[in-house]
Structure 1
Amino acid sequence: MTMSKVKTKIKQVETGSIVTPIGFQVAGLHSGVKRKRNDLGVVYSEKPANAAAVYTLNKIQAAPLGVTKESIASEQKIQAVIINSGNANACTGKQGMTDAYEMRKTTAEKFQVPEQYVAVASTGIIGLDMPMDKIIPHIDQLSIGSTAQHAADFGESILTTDTFAKSTCFEAEIDGKKVSMAGAAKGSGMIEPNMGTMLGFITTDIDVDAASLDKALKQVVDQTFNCITVDGDTSTNDMVLVLANGLAGNTTLTPEHNDWDTFIELLTNTCEKLAKQIARDGEGATKLIEVDVQGAATDEDAKKIAKSIVGSSLVKTAVFGTDANWGRIIAAVGYSGAEVNPNTIDTSIGTMQLLKDSEPTGFSEEAATAYLQNDTIKITVDLKIGDGKGKAWGCDLTYDYVRINASYRS
């Protein structure tokens, strides 16, 4: 199946949410862990869903990740996910593991599912004991549903320093059946390629083989969530979890299925949309930066260069200051570690070419400054040494980033 045919089948559902796929319900409420906003949420599937997850590469991982890994390893099925924000349950020792297991047990009892069918996620301040006196009683008060308000309540419950909830939904046709895939995510600071302080929850009613789902998620996360950065820090709590309950009624998908490419495109669109929303909401950010690298020796080199550019503090501050300082871009290309020919590089911002074969083009500084005042900035680099291509997303670095992180616990 060609990519063009796949794209014609997929439609974004503007009013859709994490509960659009058949059989999913959510809830969110304020338990008191945070001062005001909802801080406890749950995702529930009416039947056990095939599950796959990708986790932070930080070697120091929070207790909930260990519990979730154990749950998924049991049968590769999850029916409920309990999430709290405001406290990360990270670096909390044996008590942290005990608390994560208690959250799993209480959720299993509340929704009458086996404990191993419950995943646990936490996000917030590192190193504080969990306020279980607030969390546990409120798990029983979670009232699930599939309305827009339920989705909004859940979306708020997983946020920390985020300024808006991240959500997306797509639909397509597989085996003649209408299928949906949707997601909700959080993330604003400590965002670095290879998972940052972010949580992503993806729901779909597609029937897909569990082992194939696991491989697909790893592939797609590497092209999307692993290509965003805000500040170069990698957190302790991050995961992307996908639940596929099969209620759409299609024939079980594997890579050999005729509609497998459609499934991959759905998963890619969902993850990329959420990833870009996270990058756009970087702490204190005013602009989304997209870097598109072409003509690299390999796709891996292209991605490496894109990450290097979008992660450069000097590039990020130049974008914030509306300064078309192409020297910072070309420097990030050079120290990326990828193969380059220093004499053949083209560089553009928007449609304006700054370098041609590594030489300045005499572009209009006034026009470049005007373009950099937009809220989405695209940087394109063509190395002209191969067919490799890749993208990465990030945001500008502002005064507010320092203000937010200097007072995070106060």
Structure 2
Amino acid sequence: MSGKENGEALPQEQRHGWLSFIKSIASFSGDLSKMTAPSFILSPVSLTDWGEHPETLKPIQTGQSPEERMIAVVRWFIATLKGQYTARNTSMGSEKKPLNPVLGEVFYGSWPDTTGDGELRLTSEQVSHHPPVTAYFLENEKLSVSVEGHSGQKTSFNGHAISVVQVGHAILRAKRPDGSVETYLITLPTLSIDGLWYGSPYIELTGDSYIHSTTGMLAKIHYSGRGYFSGKAHSFHVSMSKTSAPTQSFFEASGVWAGESTITKSPLHAAGTVFWNADAQPRQEVTVKPLEEMGEYESRRLWKTVANGIRSGNYDVASKDKSRIEHEQRALRKQREADGTQHQLKHFELIESDPDYAALSEPCKHQPPTQEGYKFRATP
């Protein structure tokens, strides 16, 4: 057993607090997202993004066939996984819990145009607190590609790992030169947070997720990881087929979503061709405006003191400001209840039955139902 598995990734002074937190999880009944976590296990970020490889969007438009464009969509999706699920582990020594975004929290960012293919812009908003749900909208106007979606979590503990069922979906739309729009429904994988009792938590993706398009293409992505005796961390296998012949794959690739994967079957590529190499493709950091120009509820301004405390190891400061924010949110909720009012969303509108999901979800029926959706709208 490695030193990391023995808990050496966690400083000695934090191990008692960590074990106390794990024991409280073990005795907690209900959705773990309602629990308050100690500051020393928190990441200094809240809302996340899908845009750190903007260059992967262009092939979604330049692909010459529906099959080629579907391969490009799946490659873009795989390229988002490392930043979403292992970046904190890599940069902070072990997995850290993101800050719980508050209701109405927003994040605005962009990836500047460095290749002539257009700027990618992101808007995220926390549209629900209990249960926690984040809505997001990514768009490259020049490429006529956008991603609209939402993600919520249902969290439970099974005695050795935390299971996080991601409830939600994304819709990628690509407006073609002839004016038609290709639509891709993207479902989300389940997360398993392991290594808890050793003080070295890490995320694995489990189960299956799907991408289904209006062009009749279907991709099934199966996730597997490191078991106690065997297996390789962060492994996946993707197979693509036509919806009309779901058992006859025309494309397959496998490998490590946080590292390198290769093509094993393709009408367009030789077997062994690299599908995606997360280690060889540098992440492009999102650009945001200066803190002094941000609104009160923009993520980096709202959590500035907490984030600075976590990064500097001053957890007392981080805890106090985190408690202040949480207290203010409880007071706002009570005030709304007393007034008989509801929180008004700023950038998104709740749709109880998403027509795109309804039209494309049938081959993805193994996923938890997520009929509702959130429609992006311009700033009021």
Interval containing the TM-score (normalised by the shorter chain): under 0.3
User: Greater relative contact order: 1 or 2 (C-alpha under 8 angstroms, separation 6 or more)?
Assistant: 1
TM-score by length of 1: 0.24
TM-score by length of 2: 0.25
Greater helix fraction, Structure 1 or Structure 2: 1
